[in-house]
Structure 1
Amino acid sequence: MKKLSNIIWGVVLLAVGVVVALNALGVTDVSLWFDGWWTLFIIIPCLVGLATEKDKTGNAIGLCIGVLLLLEAQDILDFSLLWKLIVPAIIIIIAVKLILKGIRSEKSEEKAEEDGEKADIPSEFVAFSGSKKDFSGKTFDGAELNAIFGGIECDLRDAIIENDCEIKISAIFGGIDILLPENVKVIVESTSIFGGVSDKRSSKADSNVTVHIKGLCLFGGADIK
């Protein structure tokens, strides 16, 4: 997938370079500074993410918002209408994700039961509210945290983390706090649009166990403590 991402970015940069060169030679007169050009910094990364990442939800939301902002900059949409559309668009995409996830989870649970395996990882979704997940004394193999207009605190300080694991996050107009033990290494891979992931730990361990934090921060953020 990383190779595909590099190819897509290479094609985009090549196209920009060719246009700039042709403009300089007087062959073309294509303006790269059209109204709303800055929205491409939202749209293009999200398009790349849709093509290369397994979890499409965050990138779908980012793409939707980028396109709406571009339409507003082009005076196709009114600003007041824009904000009326963004919130329901996010809710619809999240709802579709939950429905599809529910269908997939049911199938995976059935398969896991047939194979005699442990099914699924913990998942938490909050909207316009708050939640706290405490894994003290429990074996932790990963989780999925989704906060929209709300907040989640995930306390892993006393959790048992024996192997590398992954925490998928979506912070949309919301916040997520992840409290980790000192003896783990953290790698963050996130798509951040008007938000971000902040590692606020005073000391960062060089451990054999790595917690991968992946996801989307859209007008929201995640703090690692």
Structure 2
Amino acid sequence: MKRNRINNNDGGMIFGFIILGVGVLILLRKLNVFYPVWLLSWPMILIAIGVITLVKHEFKSLFGVLMLGLGMFFLLEREFNFNFGLQNYVFPIALIVVGIYLITKKQQEKQALSDFQEKINARASSVKNSTETTSSDAEYDKEGKTAFYSQSTDKKSFSGMSGTSGTSYSDSVSIDSIMSGINKRMLTKNFQGGKLTAAFGGIDLDLTQSDFTGMVTLQVDVIFGGIKLVVPPHWDVRVEVTNIAAGVEDKRSYRHADVDSEKILLIRGTVFFGGLEIKSY
């Protein structure tokens, strides 16, 4: 099923190649072998972060584009003496881009919620006005209503409403916390995973009221930020993240007898100068 599919775009391998490349360059320096010095400059860190993030998110991450763009800008300016005349405008422009992204995303979520509510109201009105139905028609109508709800919650427009603080009935979660804090509680009984990105910000995600069957994948990317996950105690949580100068803490009390082997939450991603905390109540 769809919710059991694991995302194969894992940046862990890309990150491994980057670490391998850095090691090779340092070795070449020790051996006095010539290579471009800019390959070990600090803007390359931003470029590497951007590449890893874009690969993990299938090249659909604003944060990845922002990191890659800033890295290229500083690299060309500092190492190749390109004068773009934007030294005093880089930071405010970056803030404007992030602000436009957050406003646009919020408007999309509101529109998706409005469209979904209109469909629910139209469906309820149609059912109420049907005064002459046979028993078979009534059964068909009941099944149709159930099918409508299932199809509606599977639509990307509905699943996209999970990016802001508050309560969400979406089946999947997609949160980008950039220089901000977001608290989210998921109430779906058909949780399908998703992705969390915290950059210079924090995310608190409460999954204690959620449920699913099978295996779902939650992609987490933390860069100078933190993510806190609260999960039901009987879920089988498996953490497969790459952490660099970061802390990954599983604070759940281990009770093997209570673990449901049919509910596997696989957490994958990268934690870079940040923290990931998993708790249960």
Fold conserved (TM > 0.5)?
Answer: yes
Code of the residue aligned with 1:162 in structure 2: it is T
Residue 58 of structure 2: aligned partner: 54
Structure 1 residue 43 and structure 2 residue 97: aligned? no
Counterpart pick for 2:72 among 67, 72, 84: 67
Q: 1:49 to 1:147 in 2, by over 3 A?
A: closer
Q: Among all aligned residue pairs of Structure 1 and Structure 2, give the percentage whose two residues are the same amino acid.
A: 22
Instruction: Give the match's secondary structure for 1:209.
Output: strand
Code of the residue aligned with 2:230 in structure 1: it is L
Moved more, 171-180 or 198-207: 198-207
CA deviation digits over 1:10-35, x for unaligned, max 9?
A: 9x95xx68x949x96x9xx6345448
Gaps of 5+ in 2: 1-7, 117-146, 165-176
Gaps of 5+ in 1: none
1:54 Cα offset (Å): 1.2
CA deviation digits over 1:66-88, x for unaligned, max 9?
A: 3355457549599xx86962464
Structure 1 residue 213 and structure 2 residue 267: aligned? yes
Q: TM-score, normalised by structure 1?
A: 0.57
Q: Is the Cα contact below 8 Å between 1:186 and 1:210 reproduced in 2? A: yes
CA deviation digits over 1:41-67, x for unaligned, max 9?
A: 442464365457515424323323433
Counterpart pick for 1:142 among 193, 202, 206: 193
Instruction: Give the match's secondary structure for 1:164.
Output: strand
Q: Give the structure with higher Rg (CA).
A: 2
Q: What count of residue pairs does the alignment treat as equivalent?
A: 207
Residue 116 of structure 1: aligned partner: 151
Instruction: Give the match's secondary structure for 2:214.
Output: coil
Instruction: Give the match's secondary structure for 2:163.
Output: strand
Q: Is the Cα contact below 8 Å between 2:241 and 2:271 reproduced in 1? A: no
Instruction: Give the match's secondary structure for 1:165.
Output: strand
CA distance in 1 between partners of 2:71 and 2:194 (Å):
28
CA distance in 2 between partners of 1:83 and 1:179 (Å):
42
1:154 Cα offset (Å): 1.1
Structure 1 residue 185 and structure 2 residue 244: aligned? no
